[in-house]
Structure 1
Amino acid sequence: MKISMQLFGLAAADFLPLVERAEQLGFECVWLADHVVTPLTFEKRYPYAPSGDPGFRPETPLTDVAVTLGYLAARTTTIRLGTGVFVLPMRNPFHVARSWAALQNLSGGRAVFGVATGWMREEFEALGVDFADRGRRADEMLDVLALLWSGEPVEYHGTHFDFGPVHFAGAPTEPIPLVFGGHAAPALRRAASRGTGWFGPNLDLAGSLELTRRIDRLRAELGRADEPFAHYVRLHGDLGPDTLRAYEDAGYEHLVFSPFNRLPASATTADRLAALDRAVEVFGAAWPSTGAASG
Structure 2
Amino acid sequence: MQIGAVYPQIELGGDPGAVRRIGRAVEDLGFAHLLAYDHVLGAVHADRTPRLPGPYTEQDPFHDPFVMFAYLAGITERVSFATGILILPQRQTALVARQAADVDLLSGGRLRLGVGVGWNHVEYEALGQDFRTRGARQEEQIELLRRLFTEPVVDFSGRFDRIDRAALVPKPVRPIPIWLGGSGEVAFERAARLADGFIFFGGGGVDHAVDAWTRLRDRVRGLGRSVEDFGADYVAVPRGGIGDLTAQIDAWREAGGTHVSVATMGRNLDSVDGHIDYLASVADALGLS
- TM exceeding 0.5: yes
The answer for the alignment partner of 1:51 in structure 2 is none
Q: What is the rounded CA distance, in whole Å, between the counterparts of 2:258 and 2:114 in structure 1?
A: 17
The answer for the alignment partner of 2:37 in structure 1 is 33
Q: What is the rounded CA distance, in whole Å, between the counterparts of 2:122 and 2:159 in structure 1?
A: 23
Measured on the aligned residues, the alpha-carbon RMSD in Å equals 1.8
The answer for the alignment partner of 2:57 in structure 1 is 57
Gaps of 5+ in 1: 47-53
Deviations 1:20-45 (A, max 9, x none): 11111111111110011112235341
Deviations 1:156-191 (A, max 9, x none): 111111231112211112121111101122211222
Q: Flag the 1:210–1:75 CA change in 2: closer, same or farther, 3 A.
A: same
The answer for the alignment partner of 2:207 in structure 1 is 206
Q: What is the rounded CA distance, in whole Å, between the counterparts of 1:253 and 1:69 in structure 2?
A: 22
Q: Aligned AA for 1:189? A: E
Q: How much does 1:227 deviate?
A: 4.8
The answer for the alignment partner of 2:53 in structure 1 is 45
Among the aligned pairs, what percent are the same residue? 27
Q: What is the rounded CA distance, in whole Å, between the counterparts of 1:156 and 1:253 in structure 2?
A: 34
The answer for the alignment partner of 2:272 in structure 1 is 269
Q: Is the 8 A contact 2:217 2:227 kept in 1?
A: no
Q: Is the 8 A contact 2:30 2:283 kept in 1?
A: no
1:100-249 to 2 correspondences below 5 Å: 100-202=100-202, 203-236=204-237, 237-238=239-240, 239-240=242-243, 241-249=246-254
The answer for the alignment partner of 2:283 in structure 1 is 280
Q: Flag the 1:127–1:111 CA change in 2: closer, same or farther, 3 A.
A: same
Asked if residue 257 in structure 1 is aligned to residue 258 in structure 2, the reply is no
Deviations 1:141-164 (A, max 9, x none): 112211211141111111111231
Q: Aligned AA for 1:38? A: G
Q: Flag the 1:196–1:288 CA change in 2: closer, same or farther, 3 A.
A: farther
Q: How much does 1:279 deviate?
A: 2.5
Q: How much does 1:13 deviate?
A: 2.2
Q: Aligned AA for 1:187? A: A
Q: Is the 8 A contact 2:108 2:173 kept in 1?
A: no
Q: Flag the 1:15–1:222 CA change in 2: closer, same or farther, 3 A.
A: same
Q: Is the 8 A contact 1:2 1:288 kept in 2?
A: no
Q: Flag the 1:102–1:45 CA change in 2: closer, same or farther, 3 A.
A: same
Secondary structure at the counterpart of residue 6 of structure 2 = strand
- Say how many residue pairs are matched: 276
Deviations 1:212-231 (A, max 9, x none): 11211111111113551111
Secondary structure at the counterpart of residue 150 of structure 2 = coil
Q: Flag the 1:160–1:263 CA change in 2: closer, same or farther, 3 A.
A: same
Q: What is the rounded CA distance, in whole Å, between the counterparts of 1:84 and 1:67 in structure 2?
A: 15
Q: Is the 8 A contact 1:85 1:115 kept in 2?
A: yes
Q: What is the rounded CA distance, in whole Å, between the counterparts of 2:249 and 2:175 in structure 1?
A: 30
Q: Is the 8 A contact 2:146 2:175 kept in 1?
A: no
Q: What is the rounded CA distance, in whole Å, between the counterparts of 1:246 and 1:157 in structure 2?
A: 45
Q: What is the rounded CA distance, in whole Å, between the counterparts of 2:149 and 2:249 in structure 1?
A: 37
TM-score by length of 2: 0.89
Q: Aligned AA for 1:213? A: T
TM-score by length of 1: 0.87
Deviations 1:31-63 (A, max 9, x none): 1100111122353413xxxxxxx1x32122121
Q: What is the rounded CA distance, in whole Å, between the counterparts of 1:72 and 1:159 in structure 2?
A: 36
* Over 4 Å off, 4+ runs: none
Q: Is the 8 A contact 1:259 1:279 kept in 2?
A: no
Gaps of 5+ in 2: none
Q: Is the 8 A contact 1:260 1:275 kept in 2?
A: no
Secondary structure at the counterpart of residue 74 of structure 2 = helix
The answer for the alignment partner of 1:77 in structure 2 is 77
Deviations 1:56-100 (A, max 9, x none): 321221211101100011111111111110000000011101010
